[in-house]
């Protein structure tokens, strides 16, 4: 099997608005025998232009940049024929950013807390067409899949309970307003937690708000 140095190098474009980060990543990747940094971009618009000019194999893309951000730049780059594989490298690990970046066409998502070897490995994986995903990001995606459960599996009463939880109503008040016992409320909550994939009341309340149940809480407060 040929050594990495005997293969054509992986051509990489780095996009990050912080010069010290661009320089550090450039040195890190250039030190790898099978990687060549062909361009450095300071914002998304420049990344799109340099990608067209240099035809890299992999683009290492920051998300938070002035002007055209990393999500929009990824969308523009990934939408072209023969596009390079884009790997996000960012400090953001929240669900919304991850989903937005992957939906825009990124093949991988790494965090800036990663060590150098993980970044190089991620570039190599992307060049092969694999999807390098930081384990912390993967866990966020798993949790998102769990929280992606809908309220369709809940009974009408459980939806009423969850709506009131989302509105911040305590269990005793929920019992009074719905005409049920506190024990029954707790039983409903146990099933709700399991169904929507949360572990406590706070998470259930946030889930209810994200899924638009709280807007119906006022109707439920007068329930029979």
Residues in the chain, total = 224
Task: Give the per-residue pLDDT at 56.
Answer: 97
151-221 matches 4-145 in CATH topology: no
Could you tell me which of 110, 107, 49 has the C-alpha nearest to residue 78? 107
Q: Please state, in angstroms and rounded to a whole number, the distance separating the CA atoms of residues 74 and 89.
A: 12
Stated as kind and residue range, the H or E segment containing 58 is strand 58-61
Q: Work out the number of other CB atoms within 10 angstroms of the CB of residue 79.
A: 10
151-221 carries CATH number 3.90.1150.10: no
- CATH number assigned to the domain covering 4-145: 3.40.50.2300
What is the value of pTM for the model shown?
Answer: 0.64
- What confidence score (pLDDT) does residue 88 get? 96
Residue stretches of the chain with pLDDT short of 50:
1, 3-5, 216, 218-224
- In the prediction, which pLDDT does 142 show? 64
Q: Where are the domains of the chain?
A: 4-145, 151-221
Separation of alpha carbons 220 and 217, rounded Å: 5
Per-residue pLDDT, 1: 46
Whether 166 contacts 214, CB under 8 Å: yes
- The CA–CA distances, whole Å, from 35 to 4, 26, 101, 119 equal 9, 10, 24, 12
- 7: which DSSP letter? S
Q: What would the pLDDT profile of 92-107 be if each residue is shown by its tens digit?
A: 877 778 878 888 899 9
Q: What is the model's pLDDT at position 118?
A: 96
pLDDT of the residue at 146: 53
């Amino acid at each position: 099997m040929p050594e990495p140095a005997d293969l054509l190098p992986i051509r990489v474009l780095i996009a990050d608005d912080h010069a010290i980060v661009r320089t550090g990543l450039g040195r890190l990747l250039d030190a790898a025998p099978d990687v060549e940094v062909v361009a450095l971009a300071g914002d998304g618009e420049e990344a799109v232009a340099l990608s067209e000019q240099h035809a890299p194999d992999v683009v290492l893309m920051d998300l938070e940049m002035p002007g055209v951000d990393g999500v929009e730049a990824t969308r523009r780059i990934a939408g072209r024929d023969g596009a390079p594989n884009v790997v996000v490298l960012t400090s953001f690990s929240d669900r919304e950013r991850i989903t937005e970046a992957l939906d825009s066409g990124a093949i991988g998502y790494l965090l800036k807390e990663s060590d150098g070897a993980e970044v190089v490995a991620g570039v190599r994986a992307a060049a092969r067409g694999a999807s390098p995903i930081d384990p912390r990001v993967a866990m966020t995606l798993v949790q998102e899949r769990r929280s992606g459960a809908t309220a369709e599996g809940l009974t009408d009463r459980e939806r009423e309970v969850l709506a009131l939880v989302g509105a911040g109503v305590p269990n005793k008040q929920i019992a009074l307003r719905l005409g049920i016992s506190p024990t029954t409320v707790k039983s409903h909550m146990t099933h709700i937690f399991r169904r929507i994939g949360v572990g406590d009341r706070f998470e259930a309340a946030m889930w209810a708000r994200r899924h638009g149940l709280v807007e119906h809480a006022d109707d439920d407060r007068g329930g029979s």
